[in-house]
Amino acid sequence: MITSRRGFLRSLGCCAAAGVRLPLNGISTSAIFEPSAFKQSDGFIRLNSNENAYGPSTKVADVIKLSVGSANRYPRIEYNSLAERVADFHNVKPEHVLLGSGSTEILRMAAFAFLGGGKQLIQASPTFAAIEYYAGAATSEVISVRLTSAFAHDLDSMLARATAATTLVYICNPNNPTASLTPRKDLETFIGKLPASAFVIIDEAYHEYVGQSGMYASFIDQSLGDDRVIVTRSFSKVYGLAGLRLGYAVASPKVVQRMRKFATEDGINSVVIQAAAAALDDTEGVSDAVQRNRNDRQEFFNQAMARALKPIDSHANFVMLNTFHPAEGVIQDFRKNNILIGRHFPPMDTYIRVSLGRPDEMLAFWRAWDELPYPKNMMSH
């Protein structure tokens, strides 16, 4: 474990020497994590899944180690206590909370609870793909509406496609893969105009990274009081627990009951239940993770500007960037350098999505970028 600032700097080794700015501004040194304690055995630098490259806070990591002692027990009582803790966190009653094995499981439950033959899902394109897969499995039609030129959901066009058969609408805000926002007031108007048949998922997996923005307010923190709205959150991003799998929905008790029928029995493991409770308590750990991401994101934009690149403004822990070259080829070229970046997201065929990694990983990214054998900015086209 790295316990001192100097130890942390030493652990960064090559990148500190190469002059990369360190992401320490505003972060208390007491809560510095173990950034390189666990190396993936395949040697790839993973900038492809919008994970938290630094892992959970040290407080949460300690709880994970201790909670292994409960690995032999089914997590039944603990499920309820975590649902209560999440409810408390959001100032709602526990009946409003549904836990899932990642928010991916919540999306699956929603698809099977609200979709089926003859019913339709409306979503943006491109957006996070899980709900589309599950809608297909539930034999529903999926209507995908391209984002606007500002990379917001095209709510007018989505509304124009809605019919009495539309039973689910998926809004990802900030949107994955673009890291862009759809303005809150536009969403309120949109939801108000949707057919009464349509439930709306607001996926807030990247909520904590948004920070202060007049364009944004969480639909949990500022509820519309509309029983059709289902908000999803994840422990995989700012809390750094993607490998332990936990997400949740906040929705009306009736909606929670309807979705719960499709939950995996005992699907939430006892280790993550304890880790998540500790993560919610560790407000300093969360604010450090947010600050670190803000620094890393700023550094990404500095590096991009130095190369005359203009990434899409990011409100998350990843950035989307036009390469002016077929994305598949760029992805493969990074792979040859042992760097994994996000998949190709049609119809944005020349864009790549880069998850923010640690400074040494980003240094490797920019090195590989500079060696790509083709022009990569607008001026060269």
What is the binding site for ligand PLP (CB under 6 A)?
50, 102-104, 128, 172, 176, 203, 205, 234, 236, 242, 247
Q: How far is the CB of 237 from ligand PLP (least distance, A)?
A: 7
Looking at beta carbons only, is 35 or 247 nearer to ligand PLP?
247
Q: How far is the CB of 111 from ligand PLP (least distance, A)?
A: 13
CA 312 to CA 180: how far, in whole Å? 7
Q: How far is the CB of 352 from ligand PLP (least distance, A)?
A: 16
Q: How far is the CB of 209 from ligand PLP (least distance, A)?
A: 11
Q: How far is the CB of 55 from ligand PLP (least distance, A)?
A: 14
Q: How far is the CB of 117 from ligand PLP (least distance, A)?
A: 25
- In angstroms, the Cα distances linking 123 to 147, 170, 258, 353 are 10, 5, 21, 19
Looking at beta carbons only, is 158 or 309 nearer to ligand PLP?
158
Looking at beta carbons only, is 57 or 303 nearer to ligand PLP?
57
Determine how β-strand 351-355 pairs with β-strand 318-322: antiparallel
Looking at beta carbons only, is 13 or 211 nearer to ligand PLP?
211
Q: How far is the CB of 4 from ligand PLP (least distance, A)?
A: 32
Backbone angles phi, psi at 248, to 5 degrees: -155, 165
Looking at beta carbons only, is 58 or 176 nearer to ligand PLP?
176
Q: Which amino acid is at 142?
A: V
Q: How far is the CB of 306 from ligand PLP (least distance, A)?
A: 28
With CA atoms as reference, report the closest residue to 370 among 306, 320, 310.
306
Looking at beta carbons only, is 15 or 312 nearer to ligand PLP?
312
Residues β-bridged to residue 124: 145
Q: How far is the CB of 177 from ligand PLP (least distance, A)?
A: 8
Which tokens in the block code for residue 230?
Answer: 């289902």
SS3 151: coil
Which residue number places its CB atom closest to ligand PLP?
102
- In angstroms, the Cα distances linking 184 to 40, 174, 250, 257 are 39, 11, 18, 27
H helices present in 178-282, as ranges: 184-193, 253-260, 270-281
What residues have CB less than 8 Å from 218, skipping those under 6 apart? 204, 207, 231
SS3 198: coil
Looking at beta carbons only, is 103 or 167 nearer to ligand PLP?
103
- Beta-strand ranges (E) seen in 126-246 are 141-146, 166-172, 199-203, 229-234
What phi-psi label fits residue 59: left (phi over 0), alpha (psi between -120 and 50 degrees) or beta?
alpha
Looking at beta carbons only, is 205 or 330 nearer to ligand PLP?
205
Looking at beta carbons only, is 140 or 236 nearer to ligand PLP?
236
Rounded to a whole number of angstroms, the CA Rg of the chain reads 21
Which tokens in the block code for residue 195?
Answer: 């057919």
CA contacts within 13 A on the Cβ side of 344:
12
